C-alpha cells in the first residue's frame, strides 16, 4: 500500500496519444448531444469517425440544460414545425432511450396569473401538430402532485419526459463504440487544415497538457453548439450563433413527479422537471458574448424563485442544491435577432457554399431533436461519401436492457435504491465490472457518495476509465457529489479511494480536493443562503477548518 | 414560581461553557437547546488562532491573538478573559478525567486525515504529537472497510511536508471484521474498541503488525467515552504511542467532549431542556424578561434575570441567511450584511482570504452585550457567545472552539 | 416555511443523528437514521424499493432530538414503513403487537383468555416471533375504567380530562388511580371518556398507518369536544402524549389538530404549571426514600425538560437521581420481538448498569413499557412519579 501513486496506464497512454498521427474519414467536433448523435449515426452507417471534445463529454449545454424531452407543447403555438419535430422525436427517444429517459409525463398548468384566452389557442395548436393533450380537473392534478399551488386554474396532461443529458451522451458513445467509433476528450480543436479548398485534417491541442497534434480526415462536422461560430471562424467562415445564457436551479428533492409547464406563451422560469432524486426549475434567457459564460448569479436565482412561486407556492421552503447555466446555441441568419425571438429550429450549413469543401456545421436545435439533426447532417455527409446505408438510429435502442439475471445479481451487491440507478448509469458491461470489484472486495459496496447512492466500486471503475482525468469526470459518470451535501463528504472519500488505487492521475490530493470543491462552489455561490449556507459552513468546517487543505504549514513552528 | 438566574439559549460549546462558568459562580442555570450543537460534527479540538489575514500562520495562539482585527470577538473579550477561560476549560476536563493538553504559547500542529497538519491550541491526549515529532519511523494504521480514512494518502502527503519528510512511513491495515452491515465510519470502529472483546481482538491484530516502540497514526477511534482507557490499554499492551488524526464527521473527539461537558453540567445542577426551540422573546425597555419556545403543542415561556444567546451561527440557527440579508431570529438584533449578495463570497472557495459571509454576525461590547451600529447597547441583560459573533472566519483562521469557549466564559462572567 | 415539512431538505448530512441513535449503537445491521431517513427519502420519492434495515428503527426519536437541522427523521421513517406495508400482508406477530387494545378487549370478553401470556404458551409466542424472554405485561384483574367507575370523586368546579391509554387502562391501572387521587388532592375533578381509543402509537411503529389514522380521528373528535369547552387533557403515559400532540400533526392531515394540542399536558408538567400559578397543593409529606429516575425518550422529545424530576424535587426528604443513561431499549413492543429482543437489551444495557451501580432498588419513570423493561433488565422495582406524589400527600396527613 505504500509508495508514491504510480501514473495509471490510462494517463500514460493519454500523454503518448498525440505522438502518432491519427487518421479517419470524418471528425466530429463537440461531445454534446448533437456530436455524439452524429458519431453514432456515422458509425452505424459504417463511416469511420472520431469525435473530439475540448473538455469532458457533455461538458457543454448538453448537461447545463433542463433535461426536458419536449412533447412539443411549448412550441406548438409559436412554431408549429418545431412542435411537430419534438413530438416525433419524443416518441422515438422514449423508445430507443429507455435507460436515459424517464417517462414522467407532463402537466401544462395555467395559473391564476395567466391569460385564459391562450389556453384555447394552445389546445388547438397542439391538436394540429399531433401532440396529445388530456384535460384533467384541478383536484385530480393536486391529488397527483400535492405540492402544486391550489390556485392553478386548469391542467392538461402531455407526453413530456425527463431525459438525463449525461447518460444520453454516454449511451450514444457506448453505442457508437460498438460500431467502431472513437472519442477523444480533453482535445480542443484549434485549426482546420485544408488544401485546395478541401479539408484535409484538423489541428488539436491536448487541453490538459497543451500538446498540439494533427488528425488527418476528409470531412469535418462541427457540432460545437454555442461554440459553432468560433469553430467556423477557424476556417475564416462566419456562422451566426448567438450564445444565450439560461440559468436553472436544482432543488434537493423531487417536489413533483411530473414535469410541470406553465400554460402561457413560453417565457422565463416556467418549467419544473423532476430528474431522479432532484427537480430542476428554469430558465432565464440573456444574451452573452461567450459560449462558456455559464456563471449564474444570485439575481437570476431570485427572479426564478419569484416566477416559480406561481406553480409551487412553497418554493422558497424547498432547499436548492445549486444554480447552473448553459448557453443556447441560437442560430439566426439575421444577425439582429437575439433571445427568445430567434429561431430554435436547426440548420445544417454546408460550407462548400462558403468555398470550403468537406466542412459542415450543424447549429441551433434542441436536445430533444438531436437525433434528427444528426440524421440530417449524416445524410448530407454520406451523400458526399457515397455511402448508401440508410439511417437506423431511430430503430436501434441506445443500449440493451440489462438482463433480469444481471439485475438480480446486482441487487445482491448494491444497497436498496442502488441497483436500478447503477444499472442505468453503467449499462450491462459496466455493471458487471462494478459487481466484479465488489465480489473481490466486499467492503467496496460501501457508499462513497451517500446522497446519490454511489458505491466505492463504481467510483473506482469510473476513475479507471480512459476518459477520466479528475474527480469531476468521475462525478459526471456517476452522479457522486451531486446530491444534498454537494461534495461535503464524498470529496474526501473519493479522492481517498481513487488515490489508494493509484488512480489519482499523478496529481496532489489537495489539488484534487480543491478542484472538485471549487466546481461545486460555482453553483453554490449564487444561492448562498438558507440551508445551502448551512451546508457550506459544514463543508468549509471540514476541508478548511479540520483537514486544513488550504492553510500553509509553518515548518519552523512544528 | 420557578425562577432561574440565567437562561442559556443553545447547547453548543459556547452555551455549555457559559452554563459551566455561570454555575461555578453560583447561578441557577437553564439551558434551552435544540439538537446537539456542532461539537459532534466539528470536533473536540480547540483552535484558538492559527492563521492571520492573508493566510499567514501565527507562531503561537498568543501571537495570533495580538494581531486580530478590531471587529474580532477576541478583541472584545480581551486577553485576560481568554486566558482564564482556557484555564477554566482545562480545569473541567482535568476534573472529569479527560484532560486536554496545550496552552496559548504553543502552536500544536496535529495530523489530519487529509495528510496535512493543522495548527491548534488544545487537544485531547489522544492527539498528543510529542512522540510523533521525535519519531524517525511512523506507522500509519488503517482499518479495513473504514471508508473515512486512507492511510496511504496520509503517508504520501506527509512525505511532502518538509518537517515530516525525513521520517519513514509504513502503512499497515487491521481488519476489524466490520464489513457486514452498514458502512463503516470512525464511530463504528470506536464503538468496537469501547467493548472489551473489541479491544482485546484489536490488540491481538495489532500485535502482528505494530512492533513495540512504534508511533502509530490512527483515525479518531480510541473509544467514544470521555476518558483515556482505550488509549492507555492499547499503549500498555503494545508498548506504542497512538496519535489520532483530525477527521471528518461524525467527530469522535467532539462526541467525547460533549458527553463530558453535559455530564459536568447536570452534576452541577444545570437544567438542560432538550428540543426547546426558542422562537421569540419578551423585551421591555432594553431588558429581556423572558424567552418563548415553540413546541408542536404550545409555546412555553422561560423567565430569567439574564439570558445568554449562544445559538450558533448559520449552521446552528442563530443567524439566518436570506438573499442580501441576515436575520437574528429571537431578538431581531441588527446584522450588517451587504445587500448585494454577490459581495458575500469570494469567487474562489479556497484562497488566501477569509470568506466575507463567514464573518457576518452580531456586534457586541466588552461584556458581550449586543450593540447597534453606533455601539449603543441594545439589550442590557442579554449576552452573546459563540459563532453568532461578528468578525471571524473560524474555518479560515482556525479559531472556532476557542471563540466559543472564551466568549461563553466572558458572557457568563458579565452577567 | 410549513411547520411540518416531511421532506429531507434541511438535512446537511452531518451524521450527528447517527452518533445519537441507540439502535445504531446496538447493531450494525441498521444503516442509521441519516441514511434510512432523509437520505433515502430522496430516493423514495423517485423509486419504489425498500431499505430492509428500516425495520430496525424503533421510533424512539433520539435522532430528532440530536439533529441540529430539525429534520423529522423518525417521522420520515414511519411514513416510509407505512408506505411499504400498504397493501402488503402482515405477520400475525406484528398484528398482535400493534393491536394491544383489541387483544385486551378480546381477553376481557372471553373468560379464560384472561392473559395473553397464559393462554398462549410462551412456546407458541416464540413460534410467531415474540421472544420468550420478553417482559410481556400481564393484564390487570380490573381495568382502570372499571376501577374508576367504582370510585367516588369529590366534585370540584375545576375539571381535567384524563387520557389513560392502553397500558394504564389494561396493565397498570393503579397509576391512573394514583393520578386521580393527586388531582383530587389539588381540588380537580377528573373526567374519563369512554370513547377514547388506543392512541395508535403501536400501530404506527408497526406500519399500520391507516388504522392509526382511524384511531386518531376518533380521539381527536373526543379531545376537541373537551378542549372546546376549555378543559385540559392530561396523560400519564409519555408515548400517548407524544402521539396525541405531536405525531398526529406530523403523520396525518386532520383538521383542528393544532388547536387541541395546546391543551394537552403531561401530568407532571400540569402540576408544575399549577405550582407556577401558586395553585399547587404543596402539602407534601416527607418521604425519606431514594430512587433512580429514567427519562423516557418520548418525554425528552417533547421539549419540556423533565417535569417529573422537578415535581418530585418538591417533596421533602425525597432523593431522586436521574440515571441519564439513554434509551431503555423497549420502544413500546419492539423489545418483545424475537429478532429484536437482544438489540433491545443491548440498547438498555447502559441504563441497567447505571441503575445497578447506583444500588437503588426502585426506578421512577413516566412510561409504562420503560418501567417493564427496566424491571426486567435491571431487576428492580418501578414506579410512576404520580404514585410518589400521592404517597407524599398521604404522608402529610399521617
Ligand atoms: C438553459 C437551457 C435549457 C435547455 N433546456 C432544454 C430542454 O429542456 N430540452 C431540450 O430539448 N433542449 C433544451 N435546451 C437546448 C439544448 O440543451 C441544446 O440545444 C443542446 O444541448 C445542444 O447540444 P449540442 O451538442 O449542440 O451542444 P453542446 O452540448 O454545447 O456541445 C458542444 C460541445 O462542443 C465542445 N466544443 C466547443 N468548442 C470546441 C473545440 N474548439 N474543440 C472541441 N470541442 C469543442 C464544447 O465543449 C461542447 O461540449 C436548453 C438549453 C439551455 C441553455
Ligand atoms: C465541520 C466543522 C469542523 C470544525 N472544526 C473545528 C475544529 O477543528 N476546531 C475548532 O476549534 N473549531 C471547529 N469548528 C468550529 C466550532 O465547532 C464552532 O465554531 C463552535 O463549536 C461553535 O459553537 P457555538 O456554541 O457557538 O455554536 P453551535 O455549536 O452551533 O451551537 C449552537 C446551539 O444552539 C442551538 N440553537 C440554535 N437555535 C436555537 C433556538 N432557536 N433555540 C434553542 N437552541 C437553539 C443549536 O441547536 C446548537 O445546539 C468546526 C465547525 C464545523 C462545522
Ligand atoms: S427513531 Fe430512534 S431508532 Fe429510529 S432512527 Fe431515530 S434514533 Fe434511531
Ligand atoms: S442529524 Fe439531522 S442534519 Fe445531521 S445527518 Fe442527521 S438528519 Fe441530517
What is the DSSP code string of A280-335? EEE---EE-SSTT-----HHHHHHHHHHHTTT-TTGGGSPEEEEEEEEEEEE-SST
Do B229 and B196 share a structural domain? yes
As a whole number of angstroms, the distance between CA B203 and CA B240 comes to 11
Indicate the residue of C16, C261, C264 with minimum beta-carbon distance to B40. C16
Of B219, B245, B271, the domain-final residue: B245
Residue in chain C closest to B313 (alpha carbons) equals C68
What is the average pLDDT score of chain A? 92
Is A225 part of a structural domain of the chain? yes
Task: Supply the residue whose CA is at minimum distance from atom 5 of ligand 1.
Answer: A66
Based on the domain organization, do B313 and B400 belong to the same domain? yes
Task: List C-alpha distances in Å: C295 to A58, A457, C57, C186, C379.
Answer: 56, 44, 20, 25, 18
Q: Name chain A contacts of B50, Cβ cutoff 8 Å.
A: 551
Q: Tell me if C55 is assigned to some domain.
A: yes
Closest residue by Cα to residue C188 from C154, C150, C218, C214: C154
Residue B195 sits in the same domain as residue B329: no
Residue A61 DSSP one-character state: T
Provide, as residue numbers in chain B, all residues whose Cβ is less than 8 Å from the Cβ of A448. Answer: 147
Asked if B298 and C261 come within 8 Å (Cβ–Cβ), the reply is yes
- Give yes or no for a contact between A273 and A321, defined as CB atoms under 8 angstroms apart: no
Q: How far apart are CA A126 and CA A123, in angstroms?
A: 5
- Answer whether residue A257 is part of any domain: yes
Query: Do A258 and A144 share a structural domain?
Result: yes
Per the structure, the complete domain to which residue B143 belongs is given by 113-245
The residues pairing with A172 across neighbouring beta strands, listed in sequence order, are none
Neighbour-count burial for B316-342, b at 16+ CB within 10 Å, e otherwise: bbbbbbebbebebebbebbbebeeebe
What's C356's domain CATH number?
3.40.50
Whether residue B177 sits in one domain with residue B41: no
- Whole-number pLDDT of residue A425: 87
Residue B126 lies in a domain: yes
Q: Are residue B284 and residue B331 in the same domain, yes or no?
A: yes
Q: Does C276 touch chain B (CB under 8 A)?
A: yes
Question: Strand A278-282 and strand A447-449: pairing?
Answer: unpaired
pLDDT of chain A along its 558 residues, tens only? 333 333 444 444 444 444 467 899 999 999 999 999 999 999 999 999 999 999 999 999 999 999 999 999 999 999 999 999 999 999 999 999 999 999 999 999 999 999 999 999 999 999 999 999 999 999 999 999 999 999 999 999 999 999 999 999 999 999 999 999 999 999 999 999 999 999 999 999 999 999 999 999 999 999 999 999 999 999 999 999 989 999 999 999 999 999 999 999 999 999 999 999 999 999 999 999 999 999 999 999 999 999 999 999 999 999 999 999 999 998 877 555 444 444 458 899 999 999 999 999 999 999 999 999 999 999 999 999 999 999 999 999 999 999 999 999 999 999 999 898 899 888 898 999 999 999 999 999 999 999 999 999 999 999 998 889 999 999 999 999 999 999 999 999 999 999 999 999 999 999 999 999 999 999 999 999 999 999 999 999 999 999 999 999 998 888
> Any idea which residue has 444561492 for its cell?
A527
In-domain check, residue A502: yes
Q: Are A534 and B314 in contact (CB under 8 A)?
A: yes
Q: Total structural domains in chain C?
A: 2
Query: What CATH number is given to the structural domain containing A369?
Result: 3.50.50.60
Q: Which residues line ligand 2 (CB under 6 A)?
A: A 537-538, 541-542, 545-546; B 9-15, 32-35, 37-39, 41-43, 45-47, 246, 276-278, 310-312, 315-318, 386-387, 394, 400-402, 404; C 68
Give phi and psi for B367, each to the nearest 5. Answer: -90, 5
Q: How many domains are there within chain A?
A: 3
A278 in Cβ contact with A251 (< 8 Å): yes
Q: What DSSP letter does each residue of A454-509 carry, written as one string?
A: EEHHHHHHHHHSTT--SHHHHHHHH-TT-STTTTTTHHHHHHHHHHHTT-STT--H
Classify residue B376: in a domain, yes or no.
Answer: yes
Q: Are B6 and B408 contacting, i.e. CB atoms less than 8 angstroms apart?
A: no
How far, in Å, from the CA of C61 to the mean position of ligand 3?
A: 5
Cell numbers that stand for C82 in this block: 407505512
Is B108 a member of any domain? no
Query: Where residue C103 falls among pLDDT bands split at 50, 70, 90?
Result: confident
- Give the mutation candidate from C1, C12, C16, C20 for the B interface (greatest B CB count, under 10 A): C16
Quick check: B132 and B164 in contact, CB under 8 A?
A: no
In a domain, A373, yes or no: yes
Contact B250 C16 (CB under 8 A): yes
> A532 vs chain C: nearest CA distance in angstroms?
9
Ligand 3: residues with CB < 6 A are C 21, 23, 33, 57-63, 73-74, 77
Residue with cell 498528543: B128
Q: Is there a single domain that holds both residue A108 and residue A199?
A: no
A192 forms beta bridges with A202
C136 within a domain of the structure (yes/no): no
A317 and A198 within one domain:
no
Residue of A104, A144, A162, A254 for testing the chain C interface, max C β-carbons within 10 Å: A254
Assigned domain for B250 exists: no
Whether residues B228 and B338 fall in one domain? no
CB neighbours of residue B304 within 10 Å:
22
DSSP 8-class letter at C331: T
Q: Among B50, B107, B316, which residue has the most ligand 2 atoms within 8 Å of its CB, making it the best to mutate?
A: B316
In a shared domain, residues B144 and B278: no
Inter-chain CB proximity A253 and C41 less than 8 Å: yes
Ligand 1 pocket list (CB less than 6 A) = A 29-35, 52-55, 59-62, 65-68, 70, 188-189, 223-227, 231, 246, 248, 282-283, 326-329, 365-368
Q: Confirm whether B353 is domain-assigned.
A: yes
Of B113, B74, B93, nearest to B17 by C-alpha is B93
**What pLDDT is recorded for position C119?**
53
Query: Does C126 fall in a domain?
Result: no
Helix (H) or strand (E) holding C108: helix C100-109
Residues A149 and A291 in one domain: yes
Boundaries of domain holding C16: 8-85
- Give a yes or no: residue A556 inside a domain: no
Give the three-class secondary structure for A204.
Answer: strand
Of the residues A255, A257, A417, the best mutation for testing chain C's interface (the one with the most C CB atoms within 10 Å of its CB) is: A417
CA atoms within 13 A on the CB side of A390: 4
By C-alpha distance, the chain A residue nearest B394 is A545
B170/B263 same-domain check: no
Residues of chain C above pLDDT 70, percent: 95
Does a structural domain hold residue B107? no
- Among residues C85, C119, C134, which one ends one of the domains? C85
Instruction: Give me the number of domains chain B comprises.
Output: 2
Instruction: Judge whether C389 lies within some domain.
Output: yes
Cell numbers describing residue A117: 384566452
The pLDDT of residue C102: 86
In the numeric block, the cell 440559468 is attached to A247
- Count CA atoms within 13 Å of residue C213 on its CB side: 13
How many whole angstroms separate alpha carbon A301 and alpha carbon B322?
12
**Same domain, yes or no, for B271 and B394?**
yes
**Residue in C1, C11, C35 nearest the CB of A317:** C1
What radius of gyration, in Å, describes the C-alpha atoms of chain C? Answer: 21
C-alpha cell read off for A246? 439560461
Give the model's pLDDT for residue A5: 36
The angle at the Cα of C263, spanning C313 to C369, to the nearest 5 degrees, equals 55
Of C12, C66, C276, the CB nearest to B2: C276
Instruction: Determine contact: B80 vs chain C, CB below 8 A.
Output: no
Spatial CB neighbours of B261, under 8 Å, sequence gap ≥ 6: B13, B16, B17, B20, B92
User: Ligand 2 centre and the CA of A485: distance in Å?
Assistant: 18
Residue span of the structural domain in which A501 resides: 445-546
Residue A516 lies in a domain: yes
Q: Is residue A68 domain-resident?
A: no
Q: Is residue B129 domain-resident? A: yes
Q: Same structural domain for residues B139 and B272? A: no
Nearest to A2 among B60, B169, B350 (CB): B169
What's the pLDDT tens digit per position in C109-152?
Answer: 654 444 554 556 777 888 889 998 989 888 999 999 999 999 99
Task: Output the CA–CA distances (angstroms, integers) from residue A177 to A40, A181, A188, A202, A517, in the order listed.
Answer: 8, 4, 21, 21, 32
Q: CA angle, A73 as apex, A70 and A74 as ends, to 5°?
A: 80
Subunits next to A (3 or more Cβ pairs <8 Å) are B, C
CA–CA distance, B304 with B302 (Å, rounded to integer): 7
> DSSP string of C246-264?
IIHHHH---TTHHHHHTTE
| CA–CA distance, A297 with A316 (Å, rounded to integer) | 17
Output the pTM of the full model: 0.95
Largest CA distance in chain C: 67
Do both B212 and B331 map to the same domain?
A: no
Q: Which residue numbers in chain B have pLDDT < 70? A: 1
Sign of CA dihedral C251, C255, C258, C264: negative
Nearest Cα neighbor of A475 from A452, A457, A496 is: A452
pLDDT the model gives residue C189: 98
- Other Cβ atoms within 10 Å of C107 Cβ, number: 18
Cβ-based neighbour number of residue B7 at 10 Å = 26
Q: Which three cell numbers stand for residue B51?
A: 492563521
Q: Is residue B105 part of a domain?
A: no
C-alpha cell at C10: 434541511
CB-CB: which of B41, B273, B296 is closest to C14? B41
In a domain, C339, yes or no: yes
Q: What sign results for the dihedral spanned by CA atoms C330, B12, B52, B389?
A: positive
On whether residue C244 sits in a domain, the answer given is: no
Tell me what pLDDT residue A174 has: 93
B378-414: string of b/e by CB count within 10 Å (b at 16+)?
Answer: bbebbbbbbbbbbbbbbbbbbbbbbbbbbbbbbbbbb
Instruction: Give the residue from chain A lying closest to B175, CA to CA.
Output: A443
Given a contact cutoff of 8 angstroms between Cβ atoms, the answer to whether B244 and B127 are in contact is yes
In a domain, C303, yes or no: yes
Where is the domain boundary, C85, C118, C135?
Answer: C85
On whether both A352 and A500 belong to a single domain, the answer is: no
Task: Evaluate whether residue C279 is within a structural domain.
Answer: no
Amino acid at each position: 500500500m505504500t509508495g508514491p501513486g504510480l501514473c495509471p496506464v490510462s494517463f500514460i497512454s493519454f500523454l503518448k496519444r498525440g505522438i502518432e498521427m491519427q487518421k479517419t474519414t470524418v471528425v466530429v467536433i463537440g461531445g454534446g448531444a448533437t456530436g455524439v448523435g452524429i458519431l453514432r449515426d456515422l458509425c452505424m452507417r459504417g463511416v469511420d469517425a472520431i469525435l473530439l471534445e475540448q473538455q469532458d463529454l457533455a461538458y457543454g449545454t448538453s448537461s447545463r440544460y433542463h433535461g426536458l424531452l419536449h412533447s412539443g407543447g411549448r412550441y406548438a403555438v409559436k412554431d408549429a414545425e418545431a412542435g411537430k419535430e419534438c413530438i416525433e422525436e419524443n416518441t422515438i427517444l422514449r423508445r430507443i432511450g429507455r435507460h436515459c429517459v424517464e417517462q414522467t409525463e407532463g402537466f401544462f398548468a395555467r395559473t391564476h396569473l395567466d391569460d385564459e384566452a391562450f389556453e384555447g389557442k394552445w389546445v388547438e395548436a397542439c391538436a394540429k401538430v399531433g401532440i396529445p393533450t388530456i384535460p384533467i380537473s384541478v383536484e385530480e392534478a393536486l391529488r397527483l402532485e400535492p405540492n402544486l399551488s391550489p390556485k392553478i386554474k386548469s391542467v392538461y396532461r402531455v407526453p413530456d419526459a425527463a431525459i438525463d443529458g449525461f447518460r444520453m451522451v454516454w449511451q450514444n458513445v457506448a453505442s457508437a463504440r460498438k460500431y467502431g467509433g472513437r472519442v477523444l476528450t480533453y482535445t480542443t480543436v484549434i485549426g482546420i487544415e485544408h488544401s485546395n479548398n478541401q479539408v484535409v485534417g484538423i489541428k488539436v491541442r491536448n487541453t490538459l497538457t497543451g500538446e498540439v497534434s494533427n488528425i488527418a480526415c476528409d470531412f469535418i462536422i462541427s457540432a460545437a453548439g454555442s461554440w459553432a461560430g468560433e469553430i467556423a471562424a477557424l476556417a475564416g467562415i462566419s456562422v451566426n450563433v448567438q450564445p444565450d445564457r439560461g440559468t436553472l436551479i436544482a432543488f434537493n428533492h423531487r417536489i413533483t413527479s411530473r414535469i410541470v409547464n406553465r400554460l402561457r406563451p413560453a417565457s422565463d422560469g416556467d418549467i419544473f422537471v423532476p430528474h431522479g432524486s432532484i427537480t430542476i426549475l428554469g430558465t432565464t434567457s440573456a444574451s452573452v458574448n461567450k459560449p462558456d459564460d455559464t456563471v449564474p448569479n444570485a439575481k437570476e436565482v431570485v427572479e426564478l424563485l419569484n416566477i416559480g412561486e406561481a406553480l409551487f407556492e412553497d418554493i422558497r421552503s424547498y432547499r436548492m442544491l445549486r444554480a447552473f447555466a448553459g448557453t443556447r446555441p441560437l442560430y439566426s441568419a439575421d444577425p439582429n435577432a437575439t433571445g427568445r425571438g430567434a429561431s430554435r429550429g436547426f440548420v445544417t450549413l454546408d460550407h462548400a457554399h462558403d468555398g470550403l469543401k468537406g466542412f459542415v456545421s450543424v447549429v441551433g436545435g434542441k436536445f430533444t431533436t438531436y437525433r434528427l439533426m444528426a440524421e440530417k447532417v449524416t445524410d448530407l455527409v454520406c451523400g458526399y461519401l457515397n455511402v448508401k446505408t440508410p439511417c437506423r438510429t431511430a430503430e436501434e435502442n441506445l443500449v440493451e436492457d440489462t438482463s433480469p439475471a444481471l439485475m438480480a445479481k446486482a441487487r445482491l451487491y448494491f444497497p436498496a435504491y442502488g441497483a436500478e440507478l447503477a444499472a442505468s448509469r453503467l449499462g450491462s458491461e459496466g455493471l458487471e465490472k462494478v459487481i466484479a470489484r465488489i465480489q473481490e472486495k466486499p467492503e467496496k459496496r460501501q457508499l462513497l457518495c451517500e446522497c446519490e447512492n454511489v458505491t466505492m466500486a463504481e467510483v473506482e471503475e469510473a476513475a479507471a476509465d480512459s476518459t477520466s482525468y479528475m474527480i469531476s469526470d468521475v462525478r459526471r459518470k456517476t452522479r457522486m457529489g451531486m446530491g444534498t451535501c454537494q461534495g461535503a463528504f464524498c470529496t474526501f472519500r473519493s479522492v481517498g479511494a481513487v488515490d489508494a488505487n493509484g488512480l489519482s492521475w499523478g496529481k496532489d490530493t489537495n489539488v484534487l480536493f480543491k478542484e472538485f470543491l471549487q466546481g461545486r462552489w460555482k453553483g453554490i455561490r449564487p444561492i448562498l443562503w438558507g440551508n445551502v449556507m448551512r451546508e457550506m459552513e459544514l463543508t468549509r468546517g471540514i476541508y478548511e477548518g479540520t483537514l486544513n487543505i488550504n492553510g500553509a504549514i509553518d515548518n519552523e513552528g512544528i | 414560581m420557578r425562577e432561574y438566574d440565567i437562561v442559556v439559549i443553545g447547547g453548543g460549546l459556547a452555551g455549555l461553557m457559559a452554563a459551566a462558568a455561570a454555575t461555578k459562580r453560583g447561578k441557577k442555570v437553564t439551558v434551552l437547546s435544540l439538537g446537539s450543537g456542532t461539537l459532534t460534527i466539528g470536533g473536540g479540538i480547540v483552535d484558538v488562532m492559527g492563521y492571520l489575514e492573508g493566510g499567514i500562520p501565527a507562531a503561537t495562539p498568543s501571537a495570533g491573538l495580538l494581531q486580530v482585527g478590531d471587529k474580532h470577538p477576541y478583541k472584545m473579550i480581551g486577553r485576560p478573559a481568554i486566558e482564564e477561560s482556557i484555564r477554566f476549560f482545562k480545569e473541567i476536563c482535568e476534573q472529569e478525567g479527560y484532560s486536554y493538553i496545550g496552552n496559548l504559547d504553543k502552536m500544536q500542529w496535529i495530523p489530519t486525515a487529509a495528510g496535512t497538519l493543522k495548527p491548534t491550541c488544545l487537544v485531547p491526549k489522544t492527539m498528543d504529537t510529542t512522540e510523533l515529532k521525535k519519531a524517525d519511523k511512523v506507522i500509519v494504521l488503517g482499518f479495513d472497510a473504514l471508508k473515512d480514512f486512507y492511510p496511504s494518502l496520509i503517508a504520501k502527503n506527509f512525505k511532502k511536508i518538509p518537517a515530516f519528510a525525513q521520517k519513514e512511513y509504513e502503512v499497515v491495515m487491521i481488519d476489524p471484521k466490520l464489513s457486514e452491515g452498514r458502512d463503516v465510519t470512525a464511530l463504528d470502529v470506536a464503538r468496537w474498541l469501547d467493548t472489551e472483546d473489541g479491544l482485546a481482538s484489536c490488540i491481538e491484530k495489532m500485535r502482528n503488525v505494530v512492533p513495540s516502540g512504534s508511533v502509530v497514526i490512527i483515525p479518531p477511534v480510541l473509544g467514544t467515552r470521555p476518558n483515556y482507557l482505550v488509549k492507555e490499554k492499547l499503549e500498555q499492551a503494545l508498548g506504542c504511542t497512538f496519535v489520532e488524526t483530525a477527521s471528518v464527521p461524525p467527530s469522535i473527539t467532539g462526541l467525547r467532549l460533549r458527553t463530558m461537558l453535559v455530564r459536568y453540567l447536570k452534576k452541577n445542577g444545570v437544567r438542560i431542556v432538550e428540543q426547546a426551540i426558542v422562537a421569540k422573546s419578551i423585551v421591555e425597555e432594553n431588558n429581556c424578561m423572558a424567552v418563548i419556545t415553540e413546541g408542536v403543542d404550545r409555546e412555553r415561556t422561560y423567565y430569567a434575570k439574564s439570558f445568554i444567546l449562544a445559538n450558533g451561527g448559520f449552521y446552528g440557527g442563530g443567524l439566518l441567511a436570506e438573499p442580501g440579508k441576515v436575520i437574528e431570529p429571537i431578538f431581531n438584533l441588527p446584522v450588517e450584511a451587504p445587500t448585494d449578495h454577490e459581495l458575500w463570497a469570494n469567487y474562489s472557495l479556497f484562497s488566501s482570504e477569509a470568506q466575507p459571509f463567514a464573518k457576518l454576525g452580531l456586534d457586541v461590547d466588552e461584556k458581550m452585550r449586543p450593540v447597534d451600529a453606533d455601539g449603543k447597547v441594545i439589550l442590557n441583560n442579554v449576552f452573546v457567545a459563540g459563532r453568532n459573533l461578528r468578525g471571524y472566519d473560524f474555518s479560515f483562521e482556525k479559531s472556532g472552539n476557542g471563540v466559543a469557549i472564551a466568549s461563553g466564559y466572558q458572557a457568563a462572567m458579565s452577567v | 416555511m410549513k411547520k411540518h415539512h416531511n421532506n429531507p431538505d434541511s438535512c446537511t448530512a452531518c451524521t450527528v443523528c447517527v452518533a445519537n441513535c441507540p439502535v445504531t449503537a446496538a447493531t450494525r445491521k441498521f444503516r442509521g437514521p441519516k441514511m434510512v431517513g432523509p437520505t433515502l427519502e430522496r430516493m423514495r420519492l423517485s423509486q419504489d424499493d425498500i431499505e430492509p434495515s428500516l425495520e430496525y428503527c424503533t421510533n424512539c426519536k433520539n435522532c430528532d432530538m440530536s439533529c441540529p437541522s430539525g429534520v423529522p427523521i423518525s417521522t420520515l421513517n414511519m411514513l416510509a414503513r407505512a408506505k411499504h406495508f400498504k397493501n402488503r400482508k402482515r405477520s400475525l406477530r406484528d398484528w398482535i403487537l400493534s393491536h394491544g387494545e383489541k387483544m385486551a378487549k378480546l381477553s376481557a370478553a372471553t373468560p379464560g383468555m384472561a392473559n395473553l401470556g397464559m393462554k398462549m404458551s410462551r412456546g407458541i409466542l416464540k413460534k410467531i416471533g415474540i421472544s420468550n424472554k420478553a417482559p410481556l405485561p400481564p393484564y390487570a384483574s380490573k381495568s382502570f375504567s372499571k376501577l374508576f367507575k367504582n370510585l367516588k370523586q369529590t366534585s370540584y368546579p375545576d375539571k381535567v380530562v384524563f387520557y389513560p391509554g392502553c397500558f394504564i387502562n389494561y396493565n397498570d391501572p393503579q397509576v391512573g388511580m394514583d393520578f386521580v387521587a393527586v388531582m383530587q388532592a389539588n381540588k380537580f375533578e377528573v373526567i374519563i371518556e369512554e370513547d377514547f381509543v388506543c392512541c395508535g402509537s403501536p400501530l404506527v411503529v408497526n406500519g399500520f398507518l391507516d388504522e392509526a389514522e382511524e384511531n386518531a380521528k376518533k380521539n381527536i373528535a373526543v379531545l376537541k369536544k373537551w378542549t372546546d369547552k376549555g378543559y385540559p387533557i392530561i396523560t400519564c403515559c409519555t408515548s400517548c402524549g407524544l402521539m396525541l400532540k405531536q405525531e398526529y400533526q406530523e403523520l396525518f392531515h386532520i383538521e383542528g389538530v393544532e388547536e387541541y394540542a395546546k391543551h394537552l399536558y403531561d401530568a407532571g408538567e400540569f402540576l408544575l404549571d399549577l405550582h407556577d400559578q401558586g395553585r399547587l397543593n404543596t402539602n407534601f409529606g416527607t418521604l425519606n426514600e431514594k430512587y433512580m429516575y429514567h427519562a423516557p425518550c418520548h418525554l425528552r422529545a417533547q421539549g419540556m425538560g423533565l417535569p417529573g424530576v422537578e415535581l418530585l424535587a418538591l417533596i421533602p426528604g425525597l432523593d431522586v437521581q436521574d440515571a441519564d443513561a439513554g434509551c431503555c431499549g423497549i420502544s413500546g413492543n419492539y423489545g418483545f420481538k424475537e429478532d429484536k429482543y437482544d438489540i433491545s437489551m443491548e440498547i438498555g444495557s447502559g441504563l441497567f448498569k447505571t441503575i445497578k451501580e447506583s444500588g437503588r432498588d426502585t426506578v421512577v419513570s413516566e412510561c409504562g413499557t420503560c418501567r417493564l423493561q427496566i424491571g426486567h433488565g435491571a431487576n428492580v422495582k418501578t414506579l410512576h412519579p404520580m404514585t410518589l406524589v400521592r404517597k407524599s400527600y398521604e404522608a402529610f396527613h399521617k
